[in-house]
Structure 1
Amino acid sequence: MKIRTLIVDDEPHAMEIIRRYAAHIPEIEIVGTCSNAIEAFQTIQHNNIDLVFLDIKMPRLLGTDLVRSLKTPPLIIFTTAYQEYAIEGFDLNAIDYLLKPIPLKRFLQAIDKVMHFLNGDGKRGAAQQDAEAPAQQAPDHFLYLRIERRLIKVNTRDILWIESIKDYIKVVTKDKIFQTKQKISVTEKLLPTGEFMRIHRSFIIPLNKMEGYHPNHLLVAGNVIPIGRNYKQVCAEKFNPGTEIL
């Protein structure tokens, strides 16, 4: 089996590293390279491409925007020097996300994920099977947090609350507390719709863990979480309908 592979990067040196690594894998066939996302769009449209090593931050069009523009994108491995794009990359269902400079070990791990997927037992394949199966339970949803140069995967079902501390957020679960540099407004958009609620400029809570309501605070998993002044009315409408906060 040959995996027809395209490399998209505006840095020739980065392209050459992937070419050199790919030479160790007989299944990987490099069928082309592109220096920008627009050129890559045309190449993907007119060729049978199985896998794309895709840089994210490129002139004219971001790699993430390229993926969004494709109705049926090939397998994607994002490659970038900018770790802040990691969450967006995983939200686009990428096979993997490689942070430059790319070590050979991480490259091989990414290829292993591709092989598993093509053999029918990878993560994307499992997600597709779940979608086709009868709906019994909503699929797990995850936050991906960059902590000490690693991506930590947190199941949103385990979250007790999220707290903002300046430019950082603290994600509190029953067993652990995770802290990472990220704005709470960005985190709010990444949470599953209808399952979480912003009750303060510095706090987001999961609705299913709310145990008690007071006009000034909520009880969440036994913890008192304050309600911000600008959020009191919407909280009253949610948790004590018919009341009005003056």
Structure 2
Amino acid sequence: MMPATEPPITCLVLEDDLLMRDLVGSFVEQVPSLQLVGLHEQPLAAFEQLARQPADLLISDIEMPGLNGLELVRALRQPPLVIFMTSHQKYAAQSYEVDAVDYLLKPLAFDRFLRAIDKARQILQYRRKALSIPEQVPAPDESVPPGSTPAEEYFFIRTEMQFVKLRYNEVVYIEAMRDFTKVYLEDGTVHITLVNLKNIESQLPALLFVRTHRSFLVNASKIEVITNQDVKLLKVAVPLSLTFRDAVTERVVQNRLITRRSS
């Protein structure tokens, strides 16, 4: 899964159920790019190890006696990437709050586990490359006079060793992943850039993009359905938090809502 030149992904597993802990440990040992550095039953033992010896990835159950998996991640000053395991869908929204890489429902399937690991691998691989490359700024486009609006609305992001041009109307949504973001396009392409969501939001047109959640910025024109929990755009559901619900509804629906008027 990972080039031989890349360092292994150090991985710590936290699970209070013995059978599940052994299963996840066996999954980790089958993946050559993973290096198991801890297999814990108690959240406090995992917390102490991570505080003393940081790991790249934490694979953790959520529901445990005492400190649960979500509370553990929030308590860490520099938490690793996290993949949560649980038997309940109800924790999905909270997992977004701590920028979890993935959310696995029990019983675990090995192929689904591998997809989650591959997400973590891509994030770590990109982060290592991005942090090793000096920041560069492209020369200004002198073909467009300052203050004018270009014929095609677009912006650039820096991803790995190149600058990529993205048009506003091809961006579906943008997801925060701690110190970087993932930009999802209509054609299914995903770009990762080492810029946080707050900075991206401040530099994109406020009339085109709307925040639905602390971790999500969406293209308002792509929203097709708004519920109390999420917005649906191009068959993808993106979380909608209570904080942003009224603003999103007002922005998207505006005066286009057909109502029943009294005669």
Normalised by the shorter chain, which TM-score bucket? 0.5 to 0.7
Q: Unmatched 5+ residue regions in structure 2?
A: 1-6, 128-158, 160-174, 182-192
Residue aligning to 1:99: 105
Pick aligned residue for 1:196 from 245, 249, 252: 245
Alignment RMSD = 3.6
Does 2:14 match 1:8? yes
Does 2:258 match 1:223? yes
Cα deviation for residue 70 of structure 1 reads: 1.3
- Give TM-score, length-normalised by structure 1: 0.63
Residues 77-108 of structure 1: CA deviation (Å, up to 9, x unaligned): 00111111112112210111111111011011
Distance change (3 Å), C-alpha of 1:118 and 1:160:
closer
* Mapping of residues 160-179 of structure 1, within 5 Å: 162=226
Q: In the aligned structure 1, how far is the partner of 2:232 from the partner of 2:124?
A: 34
Residue identity in the other structure for 2:194: Q
SS for the counterpart of 2:30 is coil
Residues 210-231 of structure 1: CA deviation (Å, up to 9, x unaligned): 54xxxxxxx4x233399xxxxx
- Give TM-score, length-normalised by structure 2: 0.59
Pick aligned residue for 2:203 from 136, 153, 157: 136
SS for the counterpart of 1:130 is coil
SS for the counterpart of 1:206 is helix
Q: In the aligned structure 2, how far is the partner of 1:85 from the partner of 1:71?
A: 22
Q: In the aligned structure 2, how far is the partner of 1:174 from the partner of 1:117?
A: 24
Residue identity in the other structure for 1:223: I
SS for the counterpart of 1:88 is helix
Q: Unmatched 5+ residue regions in structure 1?
A: 144-152, 164-168, 179-186, 198-203, 212-218, 227-246
Cα deviation for residue 208 of structure 1 reads: 1.6
Q: In the aligned structure 1, how far is the partner of 2:42 from the partner of 2:115?
A: 25
Distance change (3 Å), C-alpha of 1:50 and 1:118:
same
Residue identity in the other structure for 1:131: N
Residue aligning to 2:74: 68
Q: In the aligned structure 1, how far is the partner of 2:20 from the partner of 2:48?
A: 21
Residues 1-23 of structure 1: CA deviation (Å, up to 9, x unaligned): 12111110110111111111112
Cα deviation for residue 48 of structure 1 reads: 2.6
Residue identity in the other structure for 1:35: E
Distance change (3 Å), C-alpha of 1:136 and 1:114:
same
